[in-house]
Amino acid sequence: MSEGDERRAGEHIRTTPAESHREREIDHVLEALDPDRERPHDVVLSKDLSLSFGENRILSGVNIEFRRGTITALIGPTGCGKSTFLRTLNRMNDKVSGFRYEGDVTLEGASIFGPDQNLLHLRRRVGMVFQRPNPFPMSIRDNVVAGVKAHQIAKGKQLDVVAEERLRQVGLWGHVKDRLNDSPFRLSGGQQQLLCLARALAVGPEVLLLDEPTSALDPISTELVESLLRKLTPALTLIIVTHNLGQARRASDHTMFLYGGKLVEHGPTAELFERPKEPSTEHYVTGRMG
Amino acid sequence: MAAVSGAATGGTPPVAARPPTKRDPLLQRIRSSVWANEHHLWGWGGRISAAAPFVALVLTVLVLAFKAWPAVKVNGAHFLIGTDWKPGSTYGAVTYTNGVPHPLGVSYGAWPVIVGTLESSGIALLIALPISVGAAFALTERLPRWIAEILRYAVEILAGVPSVLIGLWGALTLGPLLANDVYPFIANHVPDVAGFSYLKGPVGHGEGLLTSGIVLALMIIPIIASTTRTLFAQVPPLPKEGGEALGMTDWEVGRRITIPWVRSGIIGATVLGLGRALGETIAVAMVSGSLLATISPNVYGTMGTIAATLVTQLDSAFVDGTGFEVRTLAELAVVLVLVLLVVNILARFIIRRTGNLSVPLGVGV
Ligand SMILES: Nc1ncnc2c1ncn2[C@@H]1O[C@H](COP(=O)(O)OP(=O)(O)OP(=O)(O)O)[C@@H](O)[C@H]1O
Ligand SMILES: [Mg+2]
């Protein structure tokens, strides 16, 4: 929260008559303190989005909104377009030859494809963690601050602070504090993935896209990552692709089910798993498909 | 390793695998896969042909050293630090030093051509490395496929142009062009800072150090560029995408991820190119001025290199009835081999130092 918000919050208290209902006053204050109060609830909005590679239509007419500070699980059988959808949200598909989209995706109300959308800035705001850990060929410390350097968010000694902070956040600090200048390739797969998460967090994204982030990890590391993701909300909005239905159930607030080139169903996770509306959803979540 | 595979083919109980070399696990893996598992299939024929280049090199150096030994005894340390090159009175009396016959008044100092060799190759590397890496990067990452294919073909053709043609072109066209239009501009416009004085002064007529460096660069760019291009093409997409997803520009992805990913390979390619430059003979002989006893005061002046000296001096060396000058040239050749050896060892050292952060075998997609 910025200083400006606090000051405005203070003014708000003064202008409220002391006699009025205390309850309402507190509500007002809380609302005023909320740094997100003037922003739309839906951080990312997909409007009639259709995606194709060449003549091959992958998804059509996807309408969904991702609410601020929630975790949305993206499930569906293999090849249904989960990764394609996710990668569209930070425009990683732009470079893929043959990729086309129709419809629109907005971030905070502005189209991510718009002419004044700075691609680099967009990717700073919408971060990504990949299925397999992909550390850069530089020291562990430099990995964490690679994006910070690229965006010139910090420099010099500040970088060490950022590195330590982010490594602590993902629970790696204890493991690596004595070998910050070593190669990341000697870390275990799970540790490498945590490092990649730290790296993505370091640039301060608003939305984090995770494409099967734990598929290469053992159950313990998976649990670690899941609890970590929970701690990242409500500051961040997370969208996570997973093949692990248990993970979707445990770790998400909302779930969306892609199947047959469409967004078949989406809703609160418990509801979608307990009372699926569509037969194909039911088949999938009960394990009779995919 | 011969013992290991010999035992395997000979039917005797297999020798226990060597304990892994601590130093170099990569090499260990290569050794265990190629030598232990496949090499016995090749049999002795394979072994001999694999060893042939090495044996040839060792034999050549031995013969050279044998030939050079009497010259070493006469020239002494002066050969490495002296700056004169006097064949003595070839038609005069023969004298003996340490029992070695040689003309009266010989004094051979190779320091100027050793310096010339290192300087010209150093300049070539300074020019060629950024251009090669940049070109390789453009070829793999930036240019449309069909343009990249055409350029790749052009680079391959350039690699195959005989050095005498490049030398001739350098001497007749490039050198005069540079001396008339480019060098004066550089010499007149460099700032008056201490380190830049090498770029000032008389620019000559196009034969000299900088022209040699440029011609050498032309010859090693194809070597470094094509090797580096292959390396870049092998960098897996995942780390690069990771950089893009972080909001890095293509340039940053290249500089921070793609190039470091293959860093040790680029160093290897550079050493390959440097070896070519250090040993390049005829082209340098044509554009350097082929001086023997002069260290150029600036980058434009005429000079000589070890390899060029060998080829330009051999004819007159045979005039020396005592054979001493030929022996001295053999000594010079041994020095060249030593320079190459030092360069290779240095490269290995650098690779080991940077290897700490590089990518181990088996990582990547
Ligand atoms: N670069 C591409 N060019 C052409 N077709 C592609 C490309 N990438 C993906 N596809 C196709 O798009 C479809 C969806 O792929 P996508 O990777 O999004 O599936 P997914 O749901 O993530 O599957 P998985 O669960 O296996 O990761 C697939 O049929 C695939 O063949
Ligand atoms: Mg996928």
Structural domain boundaries enclosing B268: 112-312
Number of separate domains in chain B: 1
- On whether any CB of chain A is under 8 Å from the CB of B357, the answer is yes
- How many angstroms separate the CA atoms of B234 and B257, rounded? 13
Nearest to B247 among A137, A150, A185 (CB): A150
Confidence of residue B8 (pLDDT cuts 50, 70, 90): very low
pLDDT at B4: 41
**Residues around ligand 2, an ion, CB closer than 5 A:** A 83
Residue A100: CB within 6 Å of ligand 1? no
- How many angstroms separate the CA atoms of B235 and B316, rounded? 52
Residue A88: CB within 6 Å of ligand 1? no
**Residue identifier of the C-alpha nearest atom 26 of ligand 1:** A78
Residue A58: CB within 6 Å of ligand 1? yes
Place of tokens 């160093």: B267
pLDDT at A221: 82
Name the pTM for this structure: 0.78
- How many angstroms separate the CA atoms of B38 and B32, rounded? 9
For the cut 80, the answer to whether the pLDDT of residue A127 exceeds it is yes
pLDDT at B67: 93
**Helix or strand (DSSP H, E) at B2:** helix B2-10
Nearest to B332 by CA among B65, B120, B62: B65
Identify whether B5 is part of a domain.
no
Confidence of residue B26 (pLDDT cuts 50, 70, 90): low
pLDDT at B136: 92
Nearest to A226 by CA among A251, A201, A263, A194: A251
CB pair distance less than 8 Å for B365 and A132 = yes
Identify whether B125 is part of a domain.
yes
> Which range, of A121-135, B38-52, B100-114, B234-248, averages the lowest pLDDT?
B38-52
The ligand minimizing its distance to the Cα of A53 is 1
What is the CA B186 to chain-centroid distance, rounded?
27
| Residue A255, beta-bridge partner list | A73, A267
pLDDT at B25: 62
Q: Which residues of B touch A127 (CB under 8 A)?
A: 245-246
Task: Give the ipTM.
Answer: 0.82
pLDDT at A8: 47
Identify whether B353 is part of a domain.
no
pLDDT at A223: 87
pLDDT at A4: 45
CB pair distance less than 8 Å for B248 and A139 = no
Confidence of residue A188 (pLDDT cuts 50, 70, 90): confident
Please report, to the nearest 10 degrees, the dihedral formed by the alpha carbons of residues B295, B300, B301, B304 taken in order: 60
Would you list the DSSP string of B76-130? Answer: TTHHHH---EE--EEEEEEEEETTEEEEET-EE--HHHHHHHHHHHHHHHHHHHH
- How many angstroms separate the CA atoms of B223 and B140, rounded? 16
**Residue identifier of the C-alpha nearest atom 10 of ligand 1:** A53
For the cut 50, the answer to whether the pLDDT of residue B362 exceeds it is no
3-state helix, strand, coil in chain B (%, to 5): 70, 5, 25
Question: Average pLDDT of A261-287?
Answer: 92
Identify whether B188 is part of a domain.
yes
Residue A78: CB within 6 Å of ligand 1? yes
Residue range A10-46, pLDDT digits in tens = 444 455 555 567 777 777 777 777 766 666 678 899 9
pLDDT at B283: 93
Would you list the DSSP string of B307-350? Answer: HHHHHHHHHHHTT-TTSHHHHHHHHHHHHHHHHHHHHHHHHHHH
Identify whether B88 is part of a domain.
no
Taking the domain A42-134+205-285, which CATH number applies?
Answer: 3.40.50.300
**Residue identifier of the C-alpha nearest atom 8 of ligand 1:** A84
Identify whether B254 is part of a domain.
yes
pLDDT at A42: 84
CATH of the domain at B255: 1.10.3720.10
Q: Are B204 and B296 in contact (CB under 8 A)?
A: no
- How many angstroms separate the CA atoms of A132 and A192, rounded? 9
Identify whether B255 is part of a domain.
yes
Residue range B124-177, pLDDT digits in tens = 999 999 999 999 999 888 888 899 899 989 988 988 899 999 999 999 999 999
- How many angstroms separate the CA atoms of B324 and A153, rounded? 68
The ligand minimizing its distance to the Cα of A260 is 1
